[in-house]
Structure 1
Amino acid sequence: MLDALRTSLTDGTYQVGNRLLPQRELAEHFNVSRDTVQRVLKALAGEKWIESRQGSGTWVIKTQRIQSPTADAAQPGQAVTLASLIGKAFKQSEVTLDVYTLTSESLNAHVRVQTERIRAKEIAPQRIALRMLLPSEALELPYPRAKDPAYNEPMRQRLLSITRLHTASLRRALRELRTEGLVSTVDIEIRHAPLTPTFKLYLFNGAEVLHGPYEVLERRIELDSGEEIDAVDVLGVGATLTHYVKDDDPNSQGSVFVGNMQSWFDSVWNLLAE
């Protein structure tokens, strides 16, 4: 439920000022308990997506922002979203994705939407190649971390659990397409680099880039034990991203940026990552 609502907040389903369904209807829609709904809404409020207003329900106060300086970034009247760009990439017969991220949470949610489109025969890619760079698991990261050092290890384990959950889900979702004969070639490779991600990067088919810094913030986080702690974290799913497109002019802003980011990714992939 948490992943589904986060996706809806980033793919244009909800706009700032929209009201979420009442808790009872959310519980029925997702087939979960009211207690689960309340925990999910609390988590989204902690990430500054929504706020509860006494007597009037829960309201959306933030959506994902993608700035696109390129003229051909979107069709008139159509917002550029991570979902729309991933959907565009998956319309090609060959899909290549190079991703640099902290946990892969966003990517997993959006790729799963594409796997359902493939099963519904809305799109039919013949090859999917994913390379993903994550921080080394042994690396001591500055975020997320607890304000109280006594909770640093539980916070580290929480991050590892989230990352492993989503990477395993991503591998399984894509490999099932190959197993079921829906996509003839699926290549997934995940490497870890001794770098703290300070920005998120998506490279689509060597021609488009989404890039944006992680914003550091303080918020309450619930550990697996159920205990809540104060922590320093970053906005991941909600990170503001900028969109660049490679065009026929090798000296254009989009072409230069896409080329530079591809070179950066390849250098880390080949020389630093394991």
Structure 2
Amino acid sequence: MNIDQLCPTSSQLARGRKQFASNNVQQLPNSPPALYGRSVSSQSTSLTVAAMLRERITSGVVAPGDSLPKRADLAAEFGVSGNVIRQALTTLEDEGLVTLGRGAPATVNEPPPSAPAPQTAGVLLPDRIRAAFEAEHVTIDSFSLTAETLHEALAVAYLGVRAGALTPRSIALRVMVPAIDTRLALPSLIDDPGDTRPLERLRGIMNTCHDTLAMGLNSLHLRGHVPEVALEFRSVPLTPMHKLYLLNGTESLIGYYEVVPETVILEGGEARIYDVLGIDSLLFRSSSGPDSRDAQDAAFVVSSQRWFDSLWNSIARPIESG
């Protein structure tokens, strides 16, 4: 046997491809035209159908208030069973895109409100905390580097309470900050990361925030503005790279710390450290209340609360000022 017998010629390869194609072509059954010229086989899942209907809704092919085709017509269009259509429509209803009625086609809902642009912590947090103080029982959970931004934001709400514009019956604060005795990544001296002076500065800021938060709450209580107040401080052995505020269990504000070089006064004079943007960091708001935009918005609040509680109830330890 020579090498020519082992290697087929180009003409032989071409004849083989034609024979393979002719033996494997199947005639597709006729089906009604599908969305945007695409057909969906009977093996398609409800998620596939839901995705195609979602595209029809979000692209404006079907306007809010209009109805989708009847379920039987959708089943014929997509070549699937009525059960698949039912599951697909249920998915869209869970997403808030349609409303299902007994014996009636699904109706397209008005689109949810768009998410507002994020704002800096110094702007958004005071506004949202003041709104939270309109409730009868106020709860605030905070996870951050120092609680300094929280203290400044609460001052706005406290003014409303003292003026009688806000009348909560109880205020409960849970504040979680990093443990100073942990080897924190930030803040740190740029030229000597092992220098402990930035951490001592951080400890002083945290102690000040602890004392001022306690004095502010106690003042509202002692002056008769709020019958019940509570403040708990706990520390966790980790470096926060984001800040999180949970208001009344139905609203979350989260922002990421941006690491920046900064000149500060330490024992011995000025020094350059790596610090984080606090009051100037952007906060992103989510809600599980009546103004929730969608299921994902609400789920984020629930997940954030569970995350906070998991730390608070496990590795977080009570701390005292000083």
**Structures share fold, TM-score greater than 0.5:** yes
Higher RCO (C-alpha 8 Å, min separation 6): 1
In the TM superposition, what whole-angstrom CA distance separates every residue of 1:8-34 from its partner, at most 9, and x where no partner exists? Answer: xxxxxxxxxxxxxxxxxxxxxxxxxxx
In the TM superposition, what whole-angstrom CA distance separates every residue of 1:104-143 from its partner, at most 9, and x where no partner exists? Answer: 1101111122222211111111100111111112111111
Match of 2:204?
A: 161
| 1:89 to partner: Cα distance | 0.5
Distance in structure 2 (CA, Å) of the matches to 1:177 and 1:243: 28
Match of 2:134?
A: 91
**Which runs of structure 2 are paired with 1:18-167 in the superposition (5 Å)?**
71=114, 81-149=124-192, 152-167=195-210
1:250–1:221 CA distance, 2 compared to 1 (3 A) = closer
Q: Is the contact made by 1:70 and 1:245 (CA closer than 8 Å) also made in structure 2?
A: no
Matched position secondary structure for 1:138: coil
1:83–1:70 CA distance, 2 compared to 1 (3 A) = farther
Q: How many residues align structurally?
A: 200
Matched position secondary structure for 1:168: helix
Match of 2:298?
A: 255
Match of 1:208?
A: 251
Match of 2:62?
A: none
Match of 2:72?
A: none
Match for residue 288 of structure 2 among 246, 268, 274 = 246
Distance in structure 2 (CA, Å) of the matches to 1:73 and 1:92: 23
Runs of 4+ in 1 over 6 A off after TM superposition: 248-251
Matched position secondary structure for 1:132: strand
| 1:73 to partner: Cα distance | 6.1
Q: Is the contact made by 1:70 and 1:254 (CA closer than 8 Å) also made in structure 2?
A: no
In the TM superposition, what whole-angstrom CA distance separates every residue of 1:160-194 from its partner, at most 9, and x where no partner exists? Answer: 00111111101110011111111000011111111
Q: Which amino acid in structure 1 is aligned with residue 166 of structure 2? A: I
Distance in structure 2 (CA, Å) of the matches to 1:94 and 1:171: 18
Matched position secondary structure for 1:131: strand
In the TM superposition, what whole-angstrom CA distance separates every residue of 1:78-125 from its partner, at most 9, and x where no partner exists? Answer: xx7211101100111110001101001101111122222211111111
Q: Is the contact made by 2:114 and 2:293 (CA closer than 8 Å) also made in structure 1?
A: no
Q: Is the contact made by 1:145 and 1:155 (CA closer than 8 Å) also made in structure 2?
A: yes
Distance in structure 2 (CA, Å) of the matches to 1:72 and 1:83: 19
Match of 1:26?
A: none
Distance in structure 2 (CA, Å) of the matches to 1:70 and 1:151: 49
Distance in structure 2 (CA, Å) of the matches to 1:221 and 1:196: 20
Q: Is the contact made by 2:287 and 2:293 (CA closer than 8 Å) also made in structure 1?
A: no
Q: Is the contact made by 1:70 and 1:244 (CA closer than 8 Å) also made in structure 2?
A: no
1:70–1:99 CA distance, 2 compared to 1 (3 A) = farther
Gaps of 5+ in 2: 1-111, 118-122, 318-322
Q: Is the contact made by 2:236 and 2:316 (CA closer than 8 Å) also made in structure 1?
A: yes
Q: Which moved more, 1:146-155 or 1:257-266?
A: 146-155
Say whether residues 1:187 and 2:227 are aligned partners. Answer: no
Matched position secondary structure for 1:220: strand
Q: Which amino acid in structure 1 is aligned with residue 196 of structure 2? A: E
Q: Is the contact made by 2:113 and 2:293 (CA closer than 8 Å) also made in structure 1?
A: no
In the TM superposition, what whole-angstrom CA distance separates every residue of 1:17-71 from its partner, at most 9, and x where no partner exists? Answer: xxxxxxxxxxxxxxxxxxxxxxxxxxxxxxxxxxxxxxxxxxxxxxxxxxxx964
| 1:224 to partner: Cα distance | 5.2
Q: Which moved more, 1:241-250 or 1:212-221?
A: 241-250
| 1:72 to partner: Cα distance | 7.8
| 1:251 to partner: Cα distance | 6.9
| 1:150 to partner: Cα distance | 7.8
Percentage of identical aligned residues = 35
Match of 1:231?
A: 273
1:253–1:112 CA distance, 2 compared to 1 (3 A) = same
* Structure having the higher Rg: 2
Matched position secondary structure for 1:271: coil
Distance in structure 1 (CA, Å) of the matches to 2:116 and 2:138: 19
